[in-house]
A and B are shown apart, each in its own frame.
Chain A
Amino acid sequence: MPLVEIRNLTKRFRKGDEIITPVLDLDLDIEKGDLLALMGKSGTGKSTLLNLIAGIDQPDAGSIAVAGTTITGLSRGKLADWRAAHLGYIFQTHNLVPVLTAYENIELPLLLLPMSNSDRRKRVNFALEVVGLSDRAQHYPRQLSGGQEQRVGIARAIVTHPTLVVADEPTGNLDEETSRQIQTLLQELNRQLGITLIIVTHDVDVASIAKRQLRLEHGRAIGPSQSPSAAFSGL
């Protein structure tokens, strides 16, 4: 049984007088342990699909089930609970809470789960170790480089041991070298910890770490493609 089952998913929204359909009647299965790259031109619905899978947006039609839980139609509160327990979200712009240290930012999602202080501490320290920032635990976001901030963002996304991690252009704001480091980190998370990852990206290099690529066009899935270069041939 796939970890993520998307059936007949449609999302429309109005932009001025125009109705835009970034996702149209989409079917998609994602297996546990997969690393899927969602690609496509700007406005083809990659981020919209990601947000729908993350439960921060609601579809107009269709359904999404993650690990057997149908998340479409859940209330805002229940979706929040579901995200806290099952989802890790890596943002393009890191979106760390500026008043909290790296440690506190990573700890934040764990505060929502029933857990002892010592377990919480162990998990945060482990996540810091995984992203290689144990020595930056007490630094505030303003004291970190862009790459370090993104590492904290990644640690925050994996610290709850989520069922699924989604990343929206995780290297979009980083230089080439830092971008490469983040790609390696994401690949290691998938390979060594078995984390299921869905990445939205424009970057061919980032897509190259994926086990599977999916190109979106006019709201529909084109692919999966055989290789990142093939996936990008139409861009």
Chain B
Amino acid sequence: MFRFAPYIWKTLWRHRTRSLLTVSGASVAIFVLCFIGSIQEGLNRMVQGEDAQRRLIVFQENRFCPTSSRLPEDYSRQIAQVSGVTDVLPIQVWTNNCRASLDVVVVHGVPAAKLPESRELRLIEGQWPAFVSRTDAAVVGRQFALRRRVRLGDQLTFGSMSVHVAGIFESDSSAEEDLIYCHLLFLQLAESQTAAGLVTQLEVALDPSAEPDRVAKQIDEKLRSGLVPTTTRPKGAFQTATISDLVDLIGYAYWLGLACVGLVLSLVATTTVMSVQDRVQEHAVLQTLGVRPGRVMRLILAESTLLCFWGGALGVGLAWTILTWGNFSVGAEGVAITLRPSSAMIASGLGISVILGSLAGIIPAYQATRTNLVSSLRQS
């Protein structure tokens, strides 16, 4: 087949405008597909990680938006007594937008001294003592810092509060890298003088042997007699429920992705059909010279696959570049999904391109091999 590579290349180059348009059309569709795929991947990363299964979130019952959940900070002491619980982290959440947004800002107020040990965050700029010692200090996730061009020592202002950037961190969890952490009391007081002692949620770390659902049930039962009833769920389930509208939207986007696949298929198939119809005589000549019908079929499949692959590679490259430099995140209710390029995205984008290119060429390739040679040779 490689001996025929110049023929394949020159055939595609002969109608370069048509080839170029097909490649660009395929690239746009594959780009959209990759972009949608990265949202789905971000969601999966967030709700399927070990943290998502082994940590519990205690929230005020029947509340979803972080601005409406108010739990006594003291609940953490009571929850710590439940069997299977190893640690409880009270968190005050502030967000600039409870609705679905492409640039959500989420600030978590936590006990400063507990942060380094309760989260696997690695400071790439700044020092933990600088964060712990200064009450208006904040550490900022790398993703957020890149998106907003935040630097160490900057003063960030959100709503009525202003924080000093004492560090920039990275994390294996992409969702973490979109957060800002500051002192709990600072955030409580920044929101309201009466908010001291109240938190949005409590994050519960479990013993490895503890069953998350059982512990969650025990926590809710224990606090039922308290001031505020609670709903406790594994972190992943909590996040999925919190951004359920967004999950639905992502579900719809999946269909948009399928439409892109169909678009690529029909685009490349149309181009290949046109190309084959233009060359009925040429294919008959090749067969008269001794090219087997199967080889003619493979030549046509190679053409359609190459067109689609180039389009796919361009689309994947575009998606990679935009996702890398854009540092996008989409979020709602204080939960953000970060959009990151991944090797899975590259592999699936290129793989889908190759499969679609092959599929698009099958029918025209088959037709080219079934034509009557004598009548095809007479065509001009």
Contact = CB atoms under 8 A, between A and B. Distances in A.
Given A51-B374, A56-B374, A111-B3, A99 B289 contact: no
B6 interface: yes
A109 B282 CA distance: 14
A54 B288 contact: yes
B290 A99 contact: no
B287 interface: yes
B7 interface: yes
B214 interface: no
A67 to B, nearest CB: 15
Contact of B285 (A77, A95, A112): A95
Nearest to B6: A104
Interface stretch (A78-86, A175-183, A214-222): A78-86
B293 interface: yes
B285 A111 contact: no
Contacts of B291: 80, 84, 112
Nearest to A83: B290
Contacts of B369: 76
A16 to B, nearest CB: 15
Interface string A87-116: 101010101011110001000110110000
Given A97-B7, A99-B13, A100-B10, A108 B292 contact: no
Given A80-B293, A93-B380, A56 B288 contact: yes
A99 B288 contact: no
B319 to A, nearest CB: 33
Nearest to B380: A93
A93 B379 CA distance: 11
A156 interface: yes
Interface residues of B, number: 25
A57 B373 CA distance: 7
Contacts of A99: 7, 10-11, 13-14
B290 A77 contact: no
B293 A76 contact: yes
Contacts of A91: 285, 377
Contact of B287 (A57, A80, A85): A80
A112 B285 CA distance: 14
A56 B377 CA distance: 10
Interface in B260-309: 281-282, 285-294
Nearest to B285: A95
Interface residues of B, dominant DSSP: helix
Contacts of B286: 97, 108
Which of A87, A99, A109 has the most C-beta atoms of chain B within 10 angstroms of its own C-beta?
A99
A93 B4 CA distance: 23
Contact of A97 (B282, B287, B292, B380): B282
Contacts of A51: 373-374
B290 to A, nearest CB: 3
Given A56-B373, A97-B285, A81 B292 contact: yes
B288 A89 contact: yes
B7 A100 contact: yes
B228 to A, nearest CB: 76
B16 to A, nearest CB: 11
Contacts of B377: 56, 91, 95
Contacts of A156: 289
Contacts of A93: 380
Given A56-B374, A99-B14, A100-B10, A87 B290 contact: yes
15 contacts: A56-B374, A56-B377, A57-B374, A76-B369, A80-B290, A80-B291, A81-B292, A85-B290, A87-B290, A89-B288, A97-B7, A97-B285, A100-B7, A109-B290, A156-B289
Leading 5 A-B pairs by shortest Cβ distance: A84-B290, A99-B10, A83-B290, A56-B373, A111-B3
Given A51-B374, A57-B373, A108-B286, 12 more contacts: A77-B292, A80-B287, A81-B292, A82-B290, A95-B282, A97-B285, A99-B10, A100-B6, A100-B10, A104-B6, A108-B289, A111-B3
